[in-house]
Structure 1
Amino acid sequence: MIESDRLKYHVQCRQADNGCQWSLRVALRQNLGYWEVRRVGGVHSCLAPTMSQGHRQLDSSLICRVILPLIQSNPSVSIPVLQGAVQASYHFKPSYRKVWMDKQKAITQIYGDWKESYNKVPKLLQALQSCFPGTICDLSVKPFYDGHLLVRDYSMFDKVFWSFPSCVKAFHHCKPFVSVDGMHLYRTYGGVLLIAVAQDGNSNVLPIAFAIVESESTESWSFFLTNMRRDVTPKDGMLVIFDKFQAIKATLISDDSGWHPPRAYHAYCIRHMAANFLTRFKSAEGKRYLINAAYSPSKAGYEWNMDALRGVSPTIIDWAGHFRKEIWLQHCESEHRFGHITTNLFECINVVLNDTRYLPISAIVRIMYKRLQKLFVTKGREEQSQLAAGCQFSQRLLAAIEKNGEGIPKMRVTHCDRRASVFVVEELEPFEGWGAVPSVFGYRRARVTAAYSNPSTIRAEAVFKVYEMGFSPIPDESMWAEWHGMRLCPNPVMRRKATRRPVSTRFWNHMDETE
C-alpha cells in the first residue's frame, strides 16, 4: 500500500523492491457512488513462491461466523468440509491450519475452555444430583503439585464415574447382559471414555454407565466396573461381553470384583478374537472356521468347524484350546448370551458418540445427559403407542416370527421339548390354508422364544418400562448452586502434544474390514 484514504487507493506489488513494476490506482466517483480504476502501471514480472487461495482479511471472526453452526450440529466435522463452507461464502479458501485453529476457537465459544471445563465438573455433577435425585457420581482426585510444592487450593482430576437413575431403573427391564469398552478422547486433553451398553427386549441399544479415565489400565477398569456393579447392575446371573483386553480380564477375575459365576458370566468378543487370530496365523480360511465354530448353536456344528480348522493347521487348535469354551462358544453359554457374541452394541454407540470425543470434559457429561433425555422421550412414545395398539410383544419379536414363518408352511411339528429347545418336524406337501393351522404357529413361536430365553423382557409392557422414568431438564448454569470445594485442574499427563496435528491413537486392523 503506497497511499490510501476514503477517496483513493494506490497500491503496488509486494515484490516492488525486487524490480516488479506492477501498480494500481483507484478512486471513488462520489457523484456516481462507485470506485473507478484510474491507472494500471506495468505488468507483474515476479513469481510468487506459493499460490495462496486465502485472503488476509478473511480473519478468524469471519471464518467462525460460517463454521459455528456446522460445529454446533457436528463437532467432529472435518476441516475440508469447513474449508468448503468458507469458500462457498467468501469465494476464498483459507489454509487447513487456519481453519483448524478457528475450529478450536469455535468449540471453545460453544462448549467452553478445555482447562476450565475440568473445574466445572464438580459443579455440574452437583447440579445433576440436585435436579435429578438419584444421579450416581464418583469423582476421584489427586493432590496437585507445582513442581515439588503442594498447591492446597487445587486438586488434580483423576477419573469420574456417573450414571443416571433412569438408566439404573431401565436396566432392570433389559436383557441381563452388558457390553463394555472404551473410546479414546482427542484434542487438548486426552483420556478414555468408558461405557457400558445394555439392550432392551426390542433390541434397542441403551448406554447405562459412563466414566472418563486417564487410560485403559487395570486401576481404571476396576474403578469403572466396581461402581457399575455396586450401583447400576447388581442383579445376579448377568453376562458381561468384552474385547479380551487384559485390564478388563484382570478386574473381572479379581477376588473381590463381584463378577464371578454364578453372579456374573464372562464372554469374549469373537470379532476381536478373530482379529488377533488373523494377525498371528495369517489365514483367512482359518478365521472363517473359527468364527463359524463360535457362532454354532450346537456341539456338532462346533466340532465340524474345529475339524476343518485342524485341517488348516494343528497349531491353531492348540491356540484355541487355551480359552475356556464357555467364554467364546455360543452353544456353551446360549442361555446367557441372547445371541450376542461380539461387542457390536458398543461399536454402535461408538459411532453415535464419535463427535463427543473432540469436546471438553464437562460438555461430554452434558451431551450424554441430553442425548439420553431425547432417547427416552422418543422410545417411550414409540412403545406407548404399541401398548395403545394392543401389542403384547415387542416389534422385533413379531418381525422375527414373521421372518421365521416364511419357510415353515410345509412343516408340521411332531415332537416339542421346550426345555431342551428340541423340535421334531416333518415336511408336508403344501395345501391351501395350511398357514392357519395352530401347530405351525406354535412351532414358529417356540422357535423364536428359544432365541429369547428371558420372555419377560420381550413383552411390550417391559420395553415401555425401560423408558418410563425419563429425565428432568437441566437448569440454566446461572441457577446452579455454588461449589465450595477445591478448584479442579486437569492432569498434565493427559495433555496431548501440540507440536503437530492430532494423530488418532487407534490401530486399524482386520477387524475394521467390512465382512
Structure 2
Amino acid sequence: MVIKHYSMNAHQTFVVVKSGLKVLFVQCPNSNKGCPWKLRATMSNKYNNKWVIKKWDGRYTCMNAMLSQDHNKLDSEFNLFLHIRKAWKEKQKAISRVFGDWEDSYDLLPRWLDRMLDCCLGSTYRLETTNYVSNNVVETHFRKCRRVFWTLKPTFDSFNYIKPIKQIDGTFLYGKYRDTLLISTTQDDGKLVEKIGLILISLQAPP
C-alpha cells in the first residue's frame, strides 16, 4: 500500500519482479532504459513481522507528467466511494483555486479588454452593463454584465480580402451564469474561416 501511494504521488508506476510472503522486489518499468528506481523489502521478525525496506536505489529519473485515470495501482484496496455531487463540488473548488471563481473572472473582464486595446492598437470593444439588484435593492457600487462585443484591428484590415458572407454561431457557457458566446465569422479567398467579432451575452439580463 505504501509503495502504491508513493508511485501515484510521483506520477509513476512499477512492476513486481518478485513477491512472496516475506520478500517483495519492485522496480520501474523503464529500468532497461536507465531509470534506477528499485525497492526491496522483507518481512522482519525483529520488528514484529512488519515490512522493512532493505534496499532503495534512488528516485525515478524517467518522466511521466500526468497520472492517468486508469492507473494500474488504483484498485479496490482503497475501498473508497466518492459521491458524484461531492466530487463535482471539490472539482469546482480546485478550478477556483487555480483559475479564480466566476466573480473574479467578470471583475477582470474590463481590465482584460483595456489591456487588449493596449496590446493590439486599433482594436475596439463595447461593454454594456445593467443594475445589480440584491434583496430587491439596487447596489450602486456594482454593475452586472449584460453583453460585451470585441474585435481586433487585424480583422478590420482583412475586410478587403474576405467574401461577403457573414455567419454567426453560438455556444452556451458552462458555470454559474449560463451566458452565451456568439462568434461572427466569414471566409477569405482561401476558404479559411476568419473571426470577425465575439459577443458575450448574459441570459440573466433583461432583454
- TM value normalised by structure 1: 0.26
- Cα deviation 1:87-146 (Å, max 9, x = unaligned): 416504764444433432343234321122111101111111112111211000112222
SS in 1 for 2:175: coil
Secondary structure at the aligned position of 1:86 is classed as coil
Q: For 1:165 and 1:120, locate their aligned partners in 2 and report how far apart those are by CA, in whole Å.
A: 22
Residue 102 of structure 2 corresponds to which residue in structure 1?
114
The corresponding residue for 1:210 is 198
Aligned counterparts of 2:129 and 2:100: Cα–Cα separation in 1: 21
User: Using the alignment, how far apart are the partners of 1:201 and 1:128 within structure 2?
Assistant: 28
8 Å contact kept, 1:183–1:192: yes
SS in 2 for 1:128: helix
The question of whether the paired residues in 2 share the 8 Å contact of 1:144 and 1:155 is answered with: yes
Residues 85/136 of structure 1: CA separation in 2 closer, same or farther (3 Å cut): same
Q: Distance in 2 between matches of 1:167 and 1:192?
A: 22
Question: Which of residues 35, 38, 46 is equivalent to 2:50?
Answer: 35
Which digits, 9 at most, give the CA deviation of each residue in 1:56-99, with x for residues without a partner? xxxxxxxxxxxxx88xxxxxxxxxxxxx9334165047644444
Residue matched to 1:156: 144
| Aligned mate of 1:127, from 93, 104, 115 | 115
Question: Of the candidates 200, 218, 229, which is equivalent to residue 188 of structure 2?
Answer: 200
Structure 1 residues 173 and 113, CA, compared in 2 at 3 Å: closer, same or farther? same
Structure (1 or 2) with the greater strand fraction: 2
Choose which of 30, 55, 74 in structure 2 pairs with 1:91.
74
- Distance in 1, matches of 2:49 and 2:199, equals 62
Q: Within 5 Å, which residues of 2 pair with 1:349-368?
A: none
- From 141, 166, 170, give the equivalent of 2:158: 170
Distance 1:104-1:201 versus aligned 2 partners, 3 A rule: same
Percent identity for Structure 1 against Structure 2? 25
> Do structure 1's residue 138 and structure 2's residue 153 form an aligned pair?
no
CA distance in 1, matches of 2:138, 2:155: 39
Q: Give per-residue Cα distances to partners, 1:332-369, cap 9 Å, x unaligned.
A: xxxxxxxxxxxxxxxxxxxxxxxxxxxxxxxxxxxxxx
| CA RMSD in angstroms, aligned pairs only | 3.2
- Cα deviation for residue 151 of structure 1 reads 1.7
Local SS of the residue matching 2:162? coil
Q: Distance in 2 between matches of 1:150 and 1:214?
A: 18
Distance between the aligned counterparts of 1:208 and 1:89, measured in 2?
A: 47
Asked if the contact 2:177/2:202 (under 8 Å) is kept, the reply is: no
2:4 counterpart residue number: none
Q: Normalising by structure 2, what TM-score?
A: 0.59
Which residue type is aligned with residue 35 of structure 1?
Answer: K
**Number of residues of Structure 1 aligned to a counterpart in Structure 2:** 146
Task: Flag as ranges the 4+ runs of structure 1 deviating above 6 A.
Answer: none
1:490-509 aligned within 5 A: 493=204
State the AA in 1 paired with 2:158. Answer: A
SS across alignment from 1:160: strand
Q: Distance in 2 between matches of 1:31 and 1:132?
A: 72
2:152 corresponds to which letter in structure 1? F
Alpha-carbon distance in 2 for matches of 1:97, 1:133: 46
The answer to whether the aligner puts 1:188 opposite 2:176 as a matched pair is yes
Aligned residue type for 2:74: H
The structural deviation recorded for 1:166 is: 1.3
Q: Secondary structure at the match of 1:177?
A: coil
Asked whether the 8 Å contact 2:128–2:148 carries over to 1, the reply is yes
Higher relative contact order (CA 8 A, sep 6+): 1
Q: Give me the whole-angstrom Cα distance separating, in 1, the residues matched to 2:98 and 2:155.
A: 28
Deviation at residue 35 of structure 1 after TM alignment: 2.8
Q: Distance in 2 between matches of 1:190 and 1:166?
A: 30
Give the conservation status (yes or no) of the 8 Å contact 1:138–1:162.
Answer: yes
| Offset of residue 204 of structure 1 | 1.1
| CA apart distance, 1:165 | 0.8
Tell me, in whole angstroms, the C-alpha distance in 2 between the residues paired with 1:140 and 1:117. Answer: 16
Distance 1:34 1:172 in 2: 82
- Aligned to 1:172, the other structure's residue is in SS state helix
Structure 1 unaligned blocks of 5 or more: 1-27, 37-68, 71-83, 216-492, 495-515
